[in-house]
Structure 1
Amino acid sequence: MVRSLCDTNPCMTHTTCEVSLPCCADGGSLSSVKAPQVSGVRVQLEMHALWQQFDQLGTEMIVTKAGRRMFPTFQVQISGMDPTAEYVLLMDFISVDNTRYRYAFHSSSWLVAGRADVVAPSRMHFHPDSPAHGAQWMKQTVSFDTLKLTNNLLDDNGHMILNSMHRYQPRFHVVYVDPAPSSSHLNAHRNFCSFSFPETRFMAVTAYQNHRITQLKIACNPYAKGFRTTDPQDR
């Protein structure tokens, strides 16, 4: 399932209108708001089945001071772009709620521990290939494998700053690069489309809390092979 977020603010940080279509038009008045270069964009989440496996257990993502990459990696297939137009692709993360959590090991569940901590500085992660023509973005899977998560509020490496024990929703943004400088600012609200996949929500942690998440990450993450057991009985 994908939910499109048609943000009316050029900075993509405030009021959003949510529709049940994987694009920025709902067939009504919104379709006339978005530029034609983005109004038909469709985005499909890669490794959807794996994301669902993690989501059913309650996905956790490690955040460290130095920064840690996500697994599963956020990857998408894009269609509906103008092949000759240029686009910038980027991601950000928003809090799911205003709550801080703690993990109860006796019940293997997350419990509310109080109000959320002070919101970390908001950042955007630009795909390193941006900007590029629509034809390039659509010909292959777009992967954000260089994106890293950190809990260091003073991070100067461009990593995404998150609070541990808080839930987050990744958001994916497609921005059309308007070739007319004079109108690019005025039309900023028309030139982008944002996508959200509920199954990619996760809890930011400094160490995995749910042992089933640990097992699934070790089993599926090719970079975790050093942690796998060689005992046939364990397999």
Structure 2
Amino acid sequence: MDPTAEYVLLMDFIPVDDKRYRYAFHSSSWLVSGRADAAAPSRMHFHPDSPARGAQWMKQTVSFDCLKLTNNLLDDNGHMILNSMHRYQPRFHVVFVDPAPNSYLNAQRNFTSFSFLETRFIAVTAYQNHRITQLKIASNPFAKGFRSTDTQEWASSSRTLPMLCPPDNRRGRRSSKEQDWNSSLNHLNITAILPIGY
């Protein structure tokens, strides 16, 4: 980068293939399960510091930590929309902000894209591998309630716990506490025992 020139940094995600995947527990591997769903709306994520001079981009690690993914096709928050159980390749783009009045003539030269095979991934809405679920519980500070007293048990256990109903099997509108609890369970993709008297 030219330290004095301005650049815009962007990211997007493209499908790797036209297939849908599923996780096979018996072989701990991803298998093709059919044709891909219709492609989600394509979006570009602009780095919030863009545009900035080359000197600023080069003086520190550039982080896209505010980029968020969703599978909600109706999202209006600017998140990147991906189809769950599909394989994607992130792409990184650097655009030179050409001050020339006829810069559009050099658009192709001013736009450079990079992609790295190591960054390919399968988008999911829940953990498919129970070991990943256990790792998340063991390392997430917000999941203390799901841990046993024996920290070694999480590393070796491969079973899930049964889900018990709230006391009296009560129905109807759930309290905000119950909703928060269930939201946590959905986020962690595990079943758990509700505490007595909950």
- The two structures have a TM-score, normalised by structure 2, of 0.71
- Percent sequence identity over aligned pairs: 83
1:198 is matched by which residue type in structure 2?
L
Which residue of 2 is the match for residue 173 of structure 1?
93
Rounded to whole Å, the distance in 1 between the matches of 2:94 and 2:105 is 17
1:187 is matched by which residue type in structure 2?
N
1:155 is matched by which residue type in structure 2?
D
> What 5-or-longer segments of structure 1 have no aligned partner?
1-80
Rounded to whole Å, the distance in 2 between the matches of 1:209 and 1:202 is 13
- Aligned counterpart for 2:141 among listed residues 211, 221, 225: 225
| Equivalent residue runs for 1:43-122 within 5 Å | 81-122=1-42
Rounded to whole Å, the distance in 1 between the matches of 2:14 and 2:92 is 11
- Aligned counterpart for 2:65 among listed residues 127, 141, 145: 145
Rounded to whole Å, the distance in 2 between the matches of 1:139 and 1:206 is 35
2:113 is matched by which residue type in structure 1?
S
Cα shift at 1:213? 3.3
| Equivalent residue runs for 1:152-167 within 5 Å | 152-167=72-87
Cα shift at 1:184? 1.7
Rounded to whole Å, the distance in 1 between the matches of 2:150 and 2:94 is 46
Structure 1 residues 175, 219: CA separation in 2 closer, same or farther (over 3 Å shift)? Answer: farther
- The count of residues paired between Structure 1 and Structure 2 equals 151
- Aligned counterpart for 1:209 among listed residues 102, 119, 128: 128
Can you list the C-alpha shifts for 1:46-92, whole angstroms capped at 9, x where unaligned? xxxxxxxxxxxxxxxxxxxxxxxxxxxxxxxxxxx100000000100
Cα shift at 1:225? 2.3
Q: Structure with the greater relative contact order (CA < 8 A, sep ≥ 6): 1 or 2?
A: 1
> What 5-or-longer segments of structure 2 have no aligned partner?
156-198
Which residue of 2 is the match for residue 198 of structure 1?
117
- The two structures have a TM-score, normalised by structure 1, of 0.60
Which residue of 1 is the match for residue 103 of structure 2?
184
Rounded to whole Å, the distance in 2 between the matches of 1:217 and 1:195 is 31
Can you list the C-alpha shifts for 1:92-140, whole angstroms capped at 9, x where unaligned? 0010111001112222221111111101111000000000000000111
Rounded to whole Å, the distance in 2 between the matches of 1:189 and 1:226 is 47
Rounded to whole Å, the distance in 1 between the matches of 2:112 and 2:136 is 31
Aligned residue for 1:189, secondary structure, equals: coil
Cα shift at 1:219? 6.1
Aligned residue for 2:93, secondary structure, equals: strand
Which residue of 2 is the match for residue 60 of structure 1?
none
Which has a greater percent of strand? 1
Rounded to whole Å, the distance in 2 between the matches of 1:207 and 1:233 is 24
Which has a greater percent of helix? 2
